[in-house]
């Protein structure tokens, strides 16, 4: 039996804006029914990549196919086979829930005989039964986003591109939105979703970490958490945090340090002489000598945020040396 072809494939995908490289030779493959999280800071290239994959802008170099269609040569066909939600809320606030759904049914050329069924499904999915005649601008943020998702799948696309769909939405509404994404994935819908919420990355089958236009890591949440950090990770609670960070980032044996909630995450490694110059047990006394109160350090398992910070820092160091 032949293997099923990936729904999204990019080879060397690149986008230049004059001298600025927004996306830099990105390779990516996403299988049918897979949910892939696109994680990176603002300006990393997430939105530009998604817009190229949606056929909205032309790549400068490289190639990509979505649902079997070439994004450069068959952009219109690509757009007919995808659902897309942009960062900015895209529905019409002065129209009702029902009117927005009917409008997008027309935009997506949903067959007339199927419009009623598709609209009913979207209303149920968004939890808006009984609110069909409510003006969209009066809805809470979570309902708006679920309605926007309902509009994006009215034509039953096999691929979804969601560009930071839960930005500014309260945590409970974000979780309900992700439940909807996984319901669609169970039906075979392929989803690439960008987010800057690290906790949301845990909901994805795989995570693509992007920084400065480059894909710096790709794997499941577990695989990424198991990437080497260059040392052992410890959490230490201390006051004040800012002063402690400034001291530790320069301390011998410290590979990296970053604020993590109300504590510091510190990676202790081996220096160029081949031995640890500062152990975890030394940290409280070392900080006390700088007038900083600290509790004993506790070894912890890396989070996705720890991995991402370390990979970005490593990349910056490599660029500085080149």
One domain, residues 148 and 221:
yes
Query: In terms of C-beta density within 10 A (0-12 exposed, 13-18 middle, 19 or more buried), how is residue 301 classed?
Result: exposed
One domain, residues 248 and 182:
no
Give mean pLDDT, residues 228-240: 92
What pLDDT does 74 receive? 97
Q: Which among 192, 225, 258 is the end of a domain?
A: 225
Question: For the chain, what is the mean pLDDT?
Answer: 90
One domain, residues 183 and 78:
yes
For residue 1, being part of any structural domain is answered with: no
Residue 316 clears pLDDT 70, i.e. is over it: no
DSSP 87: S
- Tens of pLDDT, residue by residue over 235-249, are 999 999 999 999 999
One domain, residues 236 and 213:
no
One domain, residues 151 and 136:
yes
Number of folded domains that form the chain: 2
Dihedral angle over CA of 216, 302, 176, 105, nearest 10: 0
CA 165 to chain CA centroid, nearest Å: 10
One domain, residues 101 and 161:
yes
- Tens of pLDDT, residue by residue over 141-190, are 888 888 999 999 999 999 999 998 887 778 888 888 899 999 999 999 99
Task: State which residues form the domain around 221.
Answer: 8-225
Residue 2 clears pLDDT 50, i.e. is over it: no
CATH at residue 273: 3.30.70.100
One domain, residues 129 and 183:
yes
CATH at residue 209: 3.40.50.300
Residue 89 clears pLDDT 90, i.e. is over it: no
For 50-59, 79-88, 204-213, which range has the lowest pLDDT when averaged over its residues?
79-88
For residue 311, being part of any structural domain is answered with: no
For residue 52, being part of any structural domain is answered with: yes
Give mean pLDDT, residues 291-319: 84
What pLDDT does 1 receive? 40
Give mean pLDDT, residues 101-110: 94
One domain, residues 180 and 239:
no
One domain, residues 13 and 107:
yes
What pLDDT does 103 receive? 95
One domain, residues 237 and 214:
no
One domain, residues 219 and 239:
no
For residue 179, being part of any structural domain is answered with: yes
For residue 317, being part of any structural domain is answered with: no
For residue 86, being part of any structural domain is answered with: yes
One domain, residues 72 and 198:
yes
What pLDDT does 125 receive? 86
- Tens of pLDDT, residue by residue over 266-279, are 999 864 444 557 88
Residue ranges with strand state E in the chain: 8-17, 20-30, 35-39, 61-66, 69-70, 82-85, 159-163, 190-195, 206-211, 214-219, 232-236, 238-239, 254-260, 263-268, 293-294, 298-299
Give mean pLDDT, residues 41-54: 93
């Amino acid at each position: 039996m032949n293997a099923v072809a990936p729904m999204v494939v990019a080879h060397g995908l690149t986008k230049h804006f004059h001298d600025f490289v927004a996306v830099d030779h990105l390779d990516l493959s996403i299988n049918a029914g897979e949910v892939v999280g696109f994680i990176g800071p603002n300006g990393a290239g997430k939105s530009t990549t998604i817009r190229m994959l949606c056929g909205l802008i032309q790549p400068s170099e490289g190639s990509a196919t979505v649902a079997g269609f070439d994004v450069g040569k068959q952009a219109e066909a690509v757009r007919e086979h995808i659902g897309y939600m942009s960062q900015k809320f895209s529905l019409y606030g002065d129209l009702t829930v029902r009117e927005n759904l009917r409008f997008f049914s027309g935009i997506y050329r949903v067959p007339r005989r199927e419009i009623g069924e598709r609209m009913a499904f979207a209303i149920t999915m968004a939890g808006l039964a009984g609110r069909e005649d409510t003006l969209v601008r009066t809805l809470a943020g979570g309902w708006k986003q679920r309605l926007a998702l309902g509009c994006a799948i009215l034509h039953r696309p096999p691929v979804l591109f969601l560009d930071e769909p839960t930005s500014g939405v309260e945590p409970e509404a974000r979780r309900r939105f992700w439940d909807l994404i996984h319901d669609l994935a169970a039906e075979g819908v392929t989803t690439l979703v960008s987010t800057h919420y690290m906790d949301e990355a845990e909901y994805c089958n795989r995570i693509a970490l992007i920084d400065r236009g480059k894909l710096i890591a790709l794997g499941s949440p577990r695989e990424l958490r198991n990437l080497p950090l260059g040392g052992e990770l410890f959490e230490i609670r201390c006051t004040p945090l800012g002063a402690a960070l400034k001291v530790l980032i320069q301390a011998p044996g410290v590979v990296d340090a970053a604020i993590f909630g109300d504590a510091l995450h510190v990676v202790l490694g081996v220096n160029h002489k081949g031995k640890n110059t500062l152990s975890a047990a030394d940290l409280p006394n070392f900080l006390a000598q700088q007038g900083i109160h600290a509790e004993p350090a506790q070894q912890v398992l890396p989070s996705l945020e720890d991995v991402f910070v370390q990979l970005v820092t490593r990349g910056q160091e490599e660029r500085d040396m080149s």
